[in-house]
Structure 1
Amino acid sequence: MQIRKFKERKIINQLAVGEEHCLILFSDKTIKGVGSNQFGQLGLMQKQRNLIIHDLIDIKLFGCDEDYQVKQISAGQFHNLYLLEDSQGNQKIYVNGKVIRQSLDNVDPDELSGLREQKLSKIKDENKEMKISKIYSRFNTNVFYTEKDLYIWGDTLTGQYHEYPTAFMKFDGQVNQIAIGQKHGLILVQDIETNRNIVYGWGDGTYGELGPTQNGQTWFKPEIIEEFEELKPSQIAAGARHSLILDRKGLMYVIGDNSFDQCLSQDRRAYEAKVIQCQEEVEEIYSGRDHNIAVSKTGIAYSWGGSLINKGWGNNNQIELDQIEDLQNRYPDIIDLSYSNTIIITGQSNI
C-alpha cells in the first residue's frame, strides 16, 4: 500500500473518492481536491483538462448561487455530486465531470463536463415537502434518498440511463444506507414497526452479489434479499461484483465475485454468504471495486482483496485478514474506498 500524507489543520467532514481523483469537504464548507482532471472533475478550465494534480487544490463551484453552501459531496468514477442548501433549507444538486449519458449525439462533452445543476423542479412539484437525506454516486450511477424515497439517474443498473433524477422506489421504512456496485445496488431500510433492518437489492446478481436465490436474473426494482435479512444486518457495502454485510454482533459476511480474493473463498465465486473471520468485533465495513476494509471497535483497520495472486483459490486453510500496519496507534476517523483507491483520514481529534 502506497501511503501519501496531506496535512490540513481543519476538520474534515467528508471524503469523495473517484477512480483517479479525490475531493475533501471541510467543516468550513470549503472543498479541496487532488488527482486527475481528465474529465473536469477537479473543476479546472478546459485547457487544464488533462492535468494530474499531485497536491491538494481549492475546488471552486463557479456559477453556484452564493446563498447556498455545500452540505455533502460524492464521487462517481469520473464525476462528482454536490448537495447545496441555503439558510431556508432549500436544496440543489450540482454535478461536474464526465457526462453520463447513453448517447452523446449532438452533445459537446467538453461543454457539459463543467458544473451544471440537476433538475429537481418536477420532483419538488410532486413532493413539496421533499428533504434530501443523502446523495451517493458510484461508477456511473447517481442516487439520492429522502426518508423513504429513492431517486436515481445515470446508469440505473437495469440497462437504462436517466438524464435527470427519477423516482425509483418508495419504502415503508426509513432508508439508512445505500451501496452500489458495477451491476447491482443494495439498500438498507429500517422497518418502522419492528426496528429490524431489511436489505433490498436490484440489478444483475450473476455472481451471487444479490443472494443465492436470485439466480442471475436482473431485478428492475429493489427486492427484499431474504438471505441477507436473516443475517440481521447493521451495515452494507458493495464492490464491483460482491456484497459485504455487517451484522449486529460485529460479524461480517461476504458474497459474490472472488476473482481478487475479496470474498476469501476457495472458489472464484461465493454464491452463499461466507463469514469473514476477524480477531475482533467489527464496527465499520467498506468496499472498493475488488477490496474491502473493516474497522474494529478498538480502531484497528483490516484489509483484504485486491490480490492478483488469488491465494485463496483451492486453499483449504483460512486466509487471515491483513492489519493495516501504517495505521497502528492512529484511529481512522474517515474512510472512503472507490475502485482500487483507499483514502483514510486520521488525527482529527488533535486539530
Structure 2
Amino acid sequence: MEKYPNSGQIDGEIKALKELDQIGGIPNLIHHGMTSENKCFLILPLLNCSLRELVKSQQLSLSQTLAIGLSLIETLEKVHQKNILHLDIKLENIMVSQKLQKNSKEQLLQPGFIQLIDFGLSQTLGNSKFLKNVFIGSLNFASRASHKGESLGYKDDLESLFYVLVYLRNCKLPWSQKPSMGCKNMDIKFIGEMKASIFNTMVLCQKFPLEFSKFMQYIDELKHYQMPDYTYIKELFIKMLQNTSLSPIMDQFLNYSPVQSINQLGSSEKILIRVEQNLPNNNSIETQIQDDIIDVEAKVVHLSDLIGKYTTIQIKSIQTLNIEYDYNSSNLCITK
C-alpha cells in the first residue's frame, strides 16, 4: 500500500504486473484498487521468504546456486520479451514460494518456485527520461552502467543477477563490506569503480565452473539495447548443472519443462561427461546414473586464502604452505 495518498508510488508496478500476467516466476496480481484514504494498494500471493532470509538460515550449494540462476534466467527472458527491464534485481527481490528442503536442487527448478518481485523501479527499454544520468538499483547489485548514469538495457538485469549468484556462492561481494564514505554520490562512484576494476577478472568466478566466466564475458560484450541470446546463456547453466550433479536429480533437470533447451537434450537416464584429466581414454565417458550416487561438491582451497594466513617474512617458497601434488590423481593436497 502507498504511504501517502495519491502519490502514484505503485502505479508503475501495477502496470508492469498486468503486462507480465501469467508468466511463471512472476507473482500474479490478485487485486488492486484505492482505499478510502486515497491510497493505492495491490494484493499479491503470500510467498515463503526472500533469498536474503534464505541464506541466513542455510548455505546454498553450487548446484543450488546454479539452479536459482537458471530459473531466474528463464523468467528474465520472458520479462525482456515484453520489453520490460526490472532494474532492481537483488536478494530481497527474489523469493522462494515455499519452504526449501535442505540440499534440494530439483525443487528450485520447479516452475514458479523462484519468484521475481518488486517492479517498482521497472521501465520499458528506451525510456531515456528515466534511464540516463541517474543511479537506479541497489548499491551492491546495480550494474556498472547504472553507477555511471548511462543508458540501461537488458544486459544490466543480467549483470545484477550475476552479482546475486556471486553473493550466494561467497556470502559476500568484494565491495559489500566496504564502510560507507558518508556521501551517497561518493559511495556510488567508489563501488562503481570497484565493480569496473574487478569485472572481467577471475575474482568473481573463483568458486564457479569455467562456463560462469563465459557468462560474465558475454554480459560484458552485450550492447545495452541488444536482446541477450538466452538459448546460449541457458546452455551454459545447463552444462554447469550437468557437471556438478551426478545424481538421479539430473533427470529432473533434463525434463524441466520450462527450459526448452533441456528438453532438447532428451530424457535418457544417461548423460555424457567430458573428462579433462589425462586418463588412459580421454574421450567422452557415458556414465550410468546410479541410485546410490549423491551430489558431492568438490572442496576447493584457494592459494590466496592460505597465503593470507602467513606474514610475508614467513613464506620462503610454496612448500612453506605444505602443499603437495598427487600425480596419480592430479589433485593438490593440503597437509597439516
Same fold, TM-score > 0.5, yes or no: no
For CA contacts below 8 A with separation 6 or more, give which structure has more relative contact order.
Answer: 2
Specify the TM-score bucket, using the shorter chain as the normaliser.
under 0.3
Larger Rg: 2
The structure with more helix, counted as a fraction of residues: 2
The structure whose residues are more often strand, as a share, is 1
TM-score by length of structure 2 reads 0.26
